[in-house]
Structure 1
Amino acid sequence: MPTAAEPTGATDPAALAERYGLSKSSIRPPLNSYLRELWSRRQFVLSYARARTYAMYAGARLGSFWQVLTPLLNAAVYYLAFGVLLGTKNGIDNYVAFLLSGIFVFTFTQRCMTEGSRSLALNLSLIRTLHFPRATLPLAYVLNELNQMLVSLCLLFVIVGFTDGISWRWLLVAPAMVLQTMFNIGITLVCARVGTFVSDISQLLPFVTRTWLYASGIFFSLPAKLAEVDAPSWVIKVLALNPISAYIDIVRRSLLAEHEANELPHAWTIAIVWSFVMLVAGLVYFWRAEDRYGRG
């Protein structure tokens, strides 16, 4: 009970908060402050990503060797189904490296999307207990998949080195990976927000990514295949706008000299534009719901 000496509203929570300069812990901060706070938690993001990588293979007998074995087994299945049975390897030099580069690049984005869509839902207890930028969780998932991608790239370098030889063009893989990682951060943040409020997205994403898989020129060269059916040039240009096709193309032309004859038009430009647009759009889209994550 307030005493007669207390001013009116002295026990009102809003009045007390205003009097002592308090604010809600879950309030959405300005975007520039949010980005600074996100940067200050970079060590947490790195540690959390390493912990997830360790936990992923801790119970397996082969341990972290699955980081190499998993992409190889996937590539073997696709090589048998598409390269041998459907004959898509015909007319493509070094089809093994051609196929592996496409699978590795696509899987990097696919897993970021599927794992990122569950990143907040699987960590609700952490979100409701501690105050931190929620974007750190999807970012940790992207770093975890980037680690897997780097392991896959090392394997790909060995294969290309034995089959095509070492070339200075390999250096172009680094900026290609930077651009795709930027794109993956943006699209993962989008999937993370959608997955938090629409739980069915985890059931829908496999169908979306599977369709995307077949439309990205992973098992065959898009320009060569369209030339076989005498498709108009504008069809190639439209299909080239697919961001995954662009990232696959710039990685392939960095590794395989023979791929230059069938490269997509303006792939580097398309990859750069998609990277920056998706990164900015994803950050803003995720940030706008920052004060809603973790609510029951």
Structure 2
Amino acid sequence: MSAPSPSAPLVEEVAQQPSRNQGAAALAAQHGLTRIGGRPRLSAYLKDLWQRRHFALKLGSSRAYARNQDSFLGQLWAVLTPLLWAGVYLFVFGVLLKTDRGVENFAGFLVIGVFLFRFTASSISAGAKAITGNSSLISSLQFPRALLPIAVVVAEFVALLPELVVLAALVLVTGEPVRVQWLLLLVAVGLQLLFSLGVAFIVARAVAEIRDVGNLIPFVIRALMYVSGVFFSIDHYAGGGLLGDILTHNPMAIYLELGRASLLEGQSVGLDIWAWGAGFAVVTLVGGFLYFWHGEEKYGRV
């Protein structure tokens, strides 16, 4: 009879390793432990996200407040910046280029366009850096990464709130009467908020996976600014035909139109435009969130 090989205990140990790993995995799952950086089930992810919602709200509001703390005028810049841009655009497009054709109150029309477009544009720009700009936070703490795009959009929304008050005052100065329809602005901004959050989810993952996408985003935002009717009436310059339909049903053009119809007496929209706005908001938010969640396990390696 031959003597047992010296390597026999080692072979037996290796053979038993898979079963031990499976037992440890089952025990971890039983106690709710998950792999670091793994993607949890959607239901568990949503539950965890809801439980930590206060983190996103606090982080977003803190970032919004801290933006202009080092400047002399402080938080006034949150209002002065869009005002200055509106003044520049009013001179260039209203005085020099005469794009005020087809608009009764071009000053109010332009100011609404600049303020509302800035909100979504800033949400997209900040959302693109939500993952890549928080690598230290991601590598040190375990939490639903969707909190980061949510936080940046919350920051932009907090910055928008005082702008809406100034916007209402400017509309009054341009001669618009106070109407009950002004309350619809809250609905329009709410839909725009959901849409902006959905886009933030999309660009956050896209830039995390392909950094070059981040270099393209400023060009996309600038193109959107010129085709969304921020400075001119799409109906007047491109009304009718396929091009007019495409420009009119651009999501940003939809939300600008809803905002203007809420505040300007000379602007009106039908229920179909509200339906388009709601549809874009829901589809973009749900689709963007699912797209972001599906890449959850990749963000720990950013």
Common topology (TM > 0.5): yes
1:50-100 residue CA offsets vs partner (Å, 9 max, x unmatched): 221122112111111111111101111111111111011244222111001
Give the superposition deviation at 1:202.
2.2
Gaps of 5+ in 1: none
Once residues 197 and 295 of structure 1 are traced to their aligned partners in structure 2, the CA distance between those partners, rounded to angstroms, is 10
- List per-residue Cα deviations over 1:188-221 (Å, max 9, x = no partner): 0001001112112222111111111110111111
Name the counterpart of 2:142: 131
Please say if residues 101 and 233 of structure 2, whose CA atoms lie closer than 8 Å, have aligned partners that are also in contact. no
Contact 1:121 1:195 (8 Å CA) reproduced: yes
Task: Work out whether residues 187 and 278 of structure 1, in 8 Å CA contact, stay in contact via their aligned partners in 2.
Answer: yes
Contact 1:160–1:166 (Cα < 8 Å) also in 2: no
Equivalenced residues, count: 289
User: Aligned in 2, Cα 1:82/1:156: closer, same or farther, shift over 3 Å?
Assistant: same
- Residue 206 to residue 150, structure 1, CA distance change in 2 (3 Å): same
**Equivalent-residue separation in structure 1 for 2:252 and 2:168 (angstroms):** 20
- From 281, 287, 299, give the equivalent of 1:293: 299
Using the TM superposition, name which of 12-21 and 166-175 deviates more: 12-21
Q: Aligned equivalents of 2:238 and 2:34: distance in 1?
A: 59
Q: Are the structure 2 counterparts of residues 43 and 275 from structure 1 closer, same or farther at C-alpha, using a change threshold of 3 Å?
A: same
Aligned AA (1:16): A
Out of 167, 172, 188, which is 2:200 matched to? 188
Structure 2, unaligned stretches of length 5 or more? 1-8
Q: Please, what is the CA RMSD of the aligned residues?
A: 2.4
Letter aligned with residue 141 of structure 1: V
1:140 matched to 2:148? The reply is no
Q: Which amino acid aligns with 2:36?
A: S
Which piece of structure 1 moves more, 116-125 or 18-27?
18-27
Corresponding residue for residue 38 of structure 1:
49
Q: Does structure 1 retain, via aligned residues, the 8 Å contact 2:37–2:300? A: no
Residues 246, 264 of structure 1: 8 Å contact kept: no
C-alpha deviation, 1:181, in angstroms: 0.7
Mapped contact 1:240–1:265 kept (Cα < 8 A):
no
Asked if the contact 2:153–2:197 (Cα under 8 Å) also holds between the matched residues in 1, the reply is yes
Q: Which amino acid aligns with 1:194?
A: A
> Contact 1:82–1:219 at 8 Å: present in 2 too?
yes
User: 2:292 matched to 1:280?
Assistant: no
Change (3 A) 1:20 1:240: closer
Q: Which moved more, 1:248-257 or 1:83-92?
A: 83-92
Q: What is the identity percentage for the equivalent residue pairs of Structure 1 and Structure 2?
A: 36
TM-score (norm 1): 0.90
Tell me what 1:245 maps to. 253
Counterpart among 202, 213, 220 of residue 225 in structure 2: 213
Q: Distance in 1 between matches of 2:282 and 2:27?
A: 43
CA contact (8 A) 1:169 1:254 kept: yes
Deviations 1:121-140 (A, max 9, x none): 11111101110000101101
